Amino acid sequence: MKDAAELILRSRRVVTPEGERPADVAVADGVITAVRPYDSAVPDGARLTDLGADVLLPGLVDTHVHINDPGRTEWEGFATATAAAAAGGITTLVDMPLNSIPPTTTTAHLTVKQDTARGRVHTDVGFWGGAVPGNLKDLQPLHDAGVFGFKCFLLPSGVDEFPQLSPDGLADALTELTRFDGLLIVHAEDPGLIDGAPRRGGPRYADFLASRPRAAEDTAIAGLIALAERLGARVHVLHLSSSGALPLIAAAKRSGVRVTVETCPHFLTLTAEEVPDGATEFKCCPPIREAANQDLLWQALADGTIDCVVSDHSPSTVDLKNRDTGDFATAWGGISSLQLGLPAVWTEARRRGHTVADVARWMSTGPARLAGLTAKGAVAEGHDADFAVLAPEETFTVDPAHLHHRNPITAYAGKTLHGVVRSTWLRGEPVARDGRVTGEPAGRLIERPAGGS
């Protein structure tokens, strides 16, 4: 039997749904049982952990992670990715359906993924399914098996076993999903505009940026919104980089179209102007854009046009990043940031006058809502006792050697960031302290909650 004795986590700064305040958070059997006034009497037999002035946040929920296991475990694996996540304050992540072999496009493939992950994860882990040509009949069974929704591409994904949908294929998938109100999550770049963009290749970042124009995102998102509106379907725009799509998204939301949007730490904290030529650790698609574009993404976060911030942690081996030639065109696209998302976003949020509570809303509450995880994403009675404890004013300099993801490459190397994750708690138990995982993997494999999205 699990110890039923109460745990009290006390902090002068607890981020609750109503805002930040001093509080005592009571936990029993892995669930938050009460949020009491600060310095309340500690019940007989309860254990008190006083966090002082460190901030108690809801554990982060990262709904965009590529773990690549099995099949490309030399890129990343469940044990390493979830260790990095736990060290970075993440308590729940949802794995993307591609870059592993097999991709998560059938229930049999989902079972392979789950069997690979079981017993090896330091955070809770759920799975997205994939919508690819020819698997329409697999969508409902995957939904029934508990995937959180379905990812698709509108242009080549980067791996052959996960092809993109044609425009007709996209409409067919969305039509099928509306039968059970499934969610389609979309890599939205228009293939025609990407094909028509200048493609010089080589190590100049400006050339790479020109090959992935904002218009490609804006056009794809416009088409997706129009389709969602026509079909009454639920769609989610992955990794929004282009500020050009924001007015359209805001208008669609106002008129009731069921569209949500995420962006990523790298779009909020890194700029095209600062990417050195040949620095392929900064390559991702869509790309990191100019500072003026970034300012508009921050505005959209503040006004709610963008719903959440998730990592899009998409690593590869060092050699696939073309570190020798610095060629952006053929380097693997993906930024490794699982362990750094919270301090990276907090550093920039702080500079721009946002609060830790804002960051919790973007990186925990928002993604939990996207995934329909009603027991995650808030320090509130009845929620899972999943927490990140942050020393917000402490700084550190990023040393890739201290990161737990498999290949020690990151665009944040050498940066000094605000916000040290002191500890991470999953269902009332510490799973990481001071950047290291503690004990055996305690994460669970989770499914979309019944009645959830």
Could you list the residues that contact Zn ion (CB under 5 A)? Answer: 312, 314
Kindly state the smallest distance separating residue 262's Cβ from Zn ion, in Å: 10
Kindly state the smallest distance separating residue 85's Cβ from Zn ion, in Å: 15
In the complex with Zn ion, the residue whose CB is nearer, 243 or 314, is 314
Measure the CA–CA gap between 101 and 221, rounded to whole angstroms: 29
Kindly state the smallest distance separating residue 186's Cβ from Zn ion, in Å: 11
Ranked by CB distance to Zn ion, the top (closest) residue is 312
Q: Which two tokens stand for residue 61?
A: 């929920």
Kindly state the smallest distance separating residue 66's Cβ from Zn ion, in Å: 6
Kindly state the smallest distance separating residue 19's Cβ from Zn ion, in Å: 32
Kindly state the smallest distance separating residue 245's Cβ from Zn ion, in Å: 17
In the complex with Zn ion, the residue whose CB is nearer, 312 or 358, is 312
Burial (CB count within 10 angstroms: exposed 0-12, middle 13-18, buried 19+), residue 4: exposed
In the complex with Zn ion, the residue whose CB is nearer, 314 or 365, is 314
148 closest CA partner among 62, 267, 249, 32: 62
Measure the CA–CA gap between 300 and 221, rounded to whole angstroms: 16
Burial (CB count within 10 angstroms: exposed 0-12, middle 13-18, buried 19+), residue 390: buried
Instruction: Look at the block and give the residue holding tokens 């997205």.
Output: 128
**Alpha carbon 31 to its chain's center:** 23
In the complex with Zn ion, the residue whose CB is nearer, 211 or 336, is 336
In the complex with Zn ion, the residue whose CB is nearer, 341 or 435, is 341
Measure the CA–CA gap between 183 and 322, rounded to whole angstroms: 35
Q: CA distances (Å), 439 to each of 431, 435, 436, 445, in order? A: 7, 13, 10, 18
Residues in the chain: 453
In the complex with Zn ion, the residue whose CB is nearer, 13 or 313, is 313
Kindly state the smallest distance separating residue 284's Cβ from Zn ion, in Å: 8
In the complex with Zn ion, the residue whose CB is nearer, 66 or 383, is 66
249 closest CA partner among 268, 269, 226, 216: 226
Decide if 169 contacts 135 (C-beta within 8 A). Answer: no
Decide if 58 contacts 389 (C-beta within 8 A). Answer: no
Kindly state the smallest distance separating residue 123's Cβ from Zn ion, in Å: 18
Kindly state the smallest distance separating residue 130's Cβ from Zn ion, in Å: 12
On the CB side of 44, CA atoms within 13 Å amount to 0
Instruction: Look at the block and give the residue holding tokens 């990715």.
Output: 81
Question: Which amino acid is present at 316?
Answer: S
Measure the CA–CA gap between 225 and 229, rounded to whole angstroms: 6
334 closest CA partner among 110, 41, 67, 27: 67
364 closest CA partner among 82, 85, 78: 85
In the complex with Zn ion, the residue whose CB is nearer, 151 or 418, is 151
In the complex with Zn ion, the residue whose CB is nearer, 312 or 384, is 312
387 closest CA partner among 426, 346, 355: 426
Question: Which amino acid is present at 178?
Answer: T
In the complex with Zn ion, the residue whose CB is nearer, 284 or 420, is 284
In the complex with Zn ion, the residue whose CB is nearer, 264 or 421, is 264
Q: CA distances (Å), 403 to each of 44, 330, 442, in order? A: 40, 25, 20
Which residues, in sequence order, are CB contacts of 159 under 8 Å at separation 6+? 98, 99, 103
Kindly state the smallest distance separating residue 241's Cβ from Zn ion, in Å: 12
Kindly state the smallest distance separating residue 221's Cβ from Zn ion, in Å: 16
